[in-house]
């Protein structure tokens, strides 16, 4: 009798383990995860509240596990970055018609308070159904409102904030939480990059010409001051000669020989330096 009971218990345990592993009538929820359990018989959904081991009704209840931790979705030109390999940068047109390539990262997580609604309306593939198309649409819409130089540097933080706000509203409607948006890199088209380089060269040349013109203007002012000084010197000399006509003779003779004291200018005139200088002292 005892042996029969033992066999029955053993068979029952074997059947239970077979049901558990063959029909997978359990689900294990790890930390940072939640499961949405769908009842095929009633059509109802229930969401697990804590981590742990949950039993399921065989063939009736079907679990879907969601990672509730914050994750980052990246679209990048770099081959080894982002969800999609290769050039996955976002191409957009600015307000002035320039094409820009944008690398962007979005941090997000499912809304735990509305996980059943997310599962019912969108499902586990919310990245391709919501995140990727919304990122592309919102970024292009906002970038189109700004000229290219604002996108590149001038108002980049403002644009990033606008994208984050708009994306937060859009994600919330789809039962997702947008934590942060990062505009990681902005690149121009080859033609526009060349235009910027040409502009920088032109600005440098303009600065050089400005320096040259300023230098020429200073030189002009110097020459004017110098000419005014010479003019004033000539005026003073002219006045001195008018007051004393013999001064011109003195200046002339002084150039001839420094030690000459007197000179005969014609047969009747002797110019005496000593007398002239005495008269000047008086």
Provide the pLDDT for residue 165: 96
How confident is the model at residue 259, as a pLDDT?
54
Give domain 71-191's CATH superfamily.
Band 7 domain (3.30.479.30)
* Residue that is written with structure tokens 């003073």 in the block: 236
Q: Is 206 left (phi over 0), alpha (psi -120 to 50) or beta?
A: alpha
At residue 65 the predicted structure's pLDDT band, cuts being 50, 70 and 90, is very high
- How do residues 159-213 score in pLDDT, each as one tens digit? 999 999 999 999 999 999 999 999 988 888 777 767 666 776 667 767 777 777 7
Please measure the distance between the N-terminal and C-terminal CA atoms of the chain and give it in whole angstroms: 162
Q: Which is more confident, 31 or 154?
A: 31
Rounded-to-5 percentages of helix, strand, coil across the chain: 50, 25, 25
Percent of the chain whose predicted confidence (pLDDT) is above 90:
39
Q: According to the model, what pLDDT value does residue 248 have?
A: 61
What is the percentage of the chain residues whose pLDDT exceeds 70? 71
What Cα–Cα distance (Å) separates residue 269 from each residue in 139, 156, 264? 105, 95, 6
Rounded CA gap, 135 and 171, in Å? Answer: 10
Residue 275 confidence class, pLDDT cut points 50, 70, 90:
low
SS3 187: strand
Q: What is the token pair recorded at 279?
A: 């008269």
Domain ranges across the chain: 2-67, 71-191, 238-282
pLDDT band at 255 (very low <50, low <70, confident <90, very high): low
């Amino acid at each position: 009798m005892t042996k029969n009971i033992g066999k029955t218990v053993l068979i029952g345990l074997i059947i239970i383990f077979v049901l558990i592993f063959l029909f997978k009538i359990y689900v294990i929820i790890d930390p940072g995860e939640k499961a949405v359990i769908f009842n095929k018989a009633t059509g109802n959904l229930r969401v697990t509240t804590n981590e742990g081991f949950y039993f399921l009704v065989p063939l009736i209840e079907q679990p879907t596990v969601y990672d509730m931790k914050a994750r980052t979705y990246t679209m990048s030109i770099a081959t080894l970055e982002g969800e999609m390999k290769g050039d996955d940068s976002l191409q957009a047109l600015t307000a002035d018609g320039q094409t820009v390539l944008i690398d962007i990262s979005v941090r997000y997580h499912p809304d735990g308070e509305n996980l059943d609604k997310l599962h019912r309306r969108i499902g586990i593939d919310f990245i391709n159904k919501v995140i990727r198309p919304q990122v592309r649409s919102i970024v292009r819409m906002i970038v189109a409102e700004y000229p290219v130089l604002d996108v590149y540097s001038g108002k980049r933080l403002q644009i990033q904030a606008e994208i984050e706000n708009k994306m937060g509203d859009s994600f919330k409607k789809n039962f997702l939480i947008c934590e942060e948006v990062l505009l990681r890199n902005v690149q121009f088209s080859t033609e526009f990059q060349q235009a910027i380089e040409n502009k920088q060269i032109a600005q440098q040349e303009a600065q050089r010409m400005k320096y040259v013109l300023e230098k020429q203007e200073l030189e002009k002012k110097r020459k004017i001051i110098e000419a005014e000084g010479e003019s004033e010197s000539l005026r003073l000399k002219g006045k001195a000669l008018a007051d004393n006509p013999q001064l011109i003779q003195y200046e002339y003779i002084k150039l001839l020989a420094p030690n000459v004291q007197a000179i005969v200018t014609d047969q009747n005139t002797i110019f005496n330096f000593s007398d002239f200088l005495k008269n000047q002292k008086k």
